[in-house]
């Protein structure tokens, strides 16, 4: 078993990475406060893992089952969680448990932040993407038709329980989407990890358990270190958004769920690297290596058919726009990112024109 801790003082919490841990009764009990709990999951995950999670809890929890997909990550379905909590008379001592991917985790965490001004919650992520990214760090929220994750709160969980055995039921497309976020950590923070992924990504796609566990652990270690330094994204934590401003534009334009988040991030990362090269920070070798790695993982390396103006419209409402100025996460070198507005409109337009399919 691998254990990584997110060091946030009194709000620190563990990340457990262990095969079959979803079935272990002693794992979550210490993090459930009081005698109430509510599991939030979706229609895909509930038939697979809900019974196992219920059996692992010290008492039977209430359940909310949401429809599956990014299209339902909105205020309407967020309100279903709050309504269930009120109808079942949950108190401030309740614990919410997110059983699912990033959509379920984000919505459950936001509900935990909002219900009675804050209750405890636990993350049990069931996709690679949620295990290495969204379940760690406390970013929660829902989408708005005009922008992704524009409504939310920072809310740290009490614990994160990662069971790599869930990959047995994970569609290959979802596995690929998670690899986009794994590769991101190598690009922005750890060039050695990037090189390890070049040698081992094919093993991960074949569900080699040792390779998957190592990659999850290293990604979580990096995320935990970054979050400990910058919990509310005032500085280095923004590095984690490499490719995301471009990617969020793709998701918003296509309609949430048409492109998976990781697919949009992969295409967006290639656009960010193109702009990084135009600024003279990286050379074509970094772009070629990244494209090859994305292709091993069956990820898109170009966005869908969109116009430059469509990209710019959605990028203008990104959370990294401050005082009307668009800032982007770009790559200074392999293993080091930066947040910058130091690019011209002409350079950004050239990147968009070059990379649009």
The CATH number of whichever domain residue 53 belongs to comes to 3.40.50.1970
Residues 224 and 96 in one domain: no
Mean pLDDT by 10 residues, the chain (357 residues): 83 93 88 94 97 94 96 95 98 97 96 97 96 92 88 95 94 96 97 98 96 96 93 89 94 88 96 97 98 98 94 83 83 96 94 89
129 and 182 assigned to the same domain: no
Same domain flag for 14 and 152: yes
Q: For residues 325 and 219, state if they share a domain.
A: yes
Q: What is the pLDDT of residue 68?
A: 95
Instruction: State the CB neighbour count (10 A cutoff) for residue 229.
Output: 12
Both 221 and 139 in one domain: the answer is: no
What's the pLDDT at 323?
60
Q: Are residues 113 and 238 in the same domain?
A: no
Cα separation, 109 vs 141, in Å, equals: 7
Helix axes 261-278, 284-296, angle to 10 degrees: 170
Sorted by sequence, the CB contacts under 8 Å of residue 194 that are 6+ apart come out as 183, 186, 187, 289, 293, 334, 335
- Residues 306 and 176 grouped into a single domain: yes
**Structural domain of residue 227, as residue ranges?**
172-355
In this structure, are 13 and 34 located in the same domain?
A: yes
Considering the domain architecture, whether residues 21 and 123 belong to the same structural domain is answered as yes
The answer on 185 and 98 residing in a single domain is no
Task: Say if residue 10 is in the same domain as residue 35.
Answer: yes
Judge if 98 and 177 occupy the same domain.
no
pLDDT digits (tens, 9 = 90+) for 89-128: 999 999 999 999 999 999 999 999 999 999 999 999 999 9
Report how many domains make up the chain: 2
Q: Among 135, 169, 203, where does a domain finish?
A: 169
CATH number at residue 331: 1.20.1090.10
What pTM did the predictor assign?
0.91
| Domain final residue pick, 169, 190, 216 | 169
Of the residues 147, 169, 191, which one is the last residue of a structural domain?
169
Say if residues 303 and 356 touch (Cβ distance below 8 Å): yes
User: What was the pLDDT predicted at 36?
Assistant: 96
Q: Which residue has tokens 């337009």?
A: 349
Q: Which residues are catalytic?
A: 117, 139, 181, 223, 233, 237, 241, 244, 248, 261
């Amino acid at each position: 078993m691998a254990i990584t801790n997110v060091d946030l003082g009194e709000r620190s919490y563990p990340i457990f990475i262990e095969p079959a841990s979803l079935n272990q009764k002693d794992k979550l009990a210490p993090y459930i406060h009081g005698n109430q709990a509510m599991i939030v999951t979706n229609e895909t995950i509930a038939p697979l893992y809900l019974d196992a999670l219920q059996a692992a809890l010290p008492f039977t929890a209430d359940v909310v089952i949401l429809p599956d997909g990014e299209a339902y990550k909105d205020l309407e379905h967020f309100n279903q969680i709050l309504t269930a909590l009120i109808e079942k008379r949950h108190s401030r001592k309740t614990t919410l448990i997110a059983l699912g991917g990033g959509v379920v985790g984000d919505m459950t965490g936001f509900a935990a932040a909002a219900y009675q001004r804050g209750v405890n919650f636990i993350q049990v992520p069931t996709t690679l993407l949620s295990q290495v990214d969204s379940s760690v760090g406390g970013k929660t929220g829902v989408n708005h038709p005009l922008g992704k994750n524009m409504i939310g709160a920072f809310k740290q969980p009490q614990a994160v329980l990662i069971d790599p055995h869930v990959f047995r039921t994970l569609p290959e497309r979802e596995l690929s989407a998670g690899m986009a976020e794994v590769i991101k950590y190598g690009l922005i923070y750890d060039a050695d990890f990037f090189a390890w992924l070049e040698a081992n990504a094919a093993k991960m796609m074949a569900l080699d358990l040792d390779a998957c566990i190592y990659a999850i652990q290293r990604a979580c270690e990096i995320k935990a270190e970054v979050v400990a330094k910058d919990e509310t994204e005032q500085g280095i934590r923004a590095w984690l958004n490499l490719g995301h401003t471009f990617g969020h534009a793709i998701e918003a334009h296509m309609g949430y769920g048409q492109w998976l988040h990781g697919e949009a991030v992969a295409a967006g990362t290639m656009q960010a690297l193109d702009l990084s090269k135009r600024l003279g920070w990286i050379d074509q070798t970094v772009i070629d290596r990244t494209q090859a790695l994305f292709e091993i993982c069956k990820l898109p390396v170009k966005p869908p058919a969109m116009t430059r103006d469509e990209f710019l419209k959605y990028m203008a409402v990104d959370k990294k726009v401050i005082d009307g100025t668009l800032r982007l996460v770009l790559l200074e070198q392999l293993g080091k990112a930066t947040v910058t507005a130091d690019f011209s409109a002409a350079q950004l337009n050239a990147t968009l024109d070059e990379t649009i399919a």
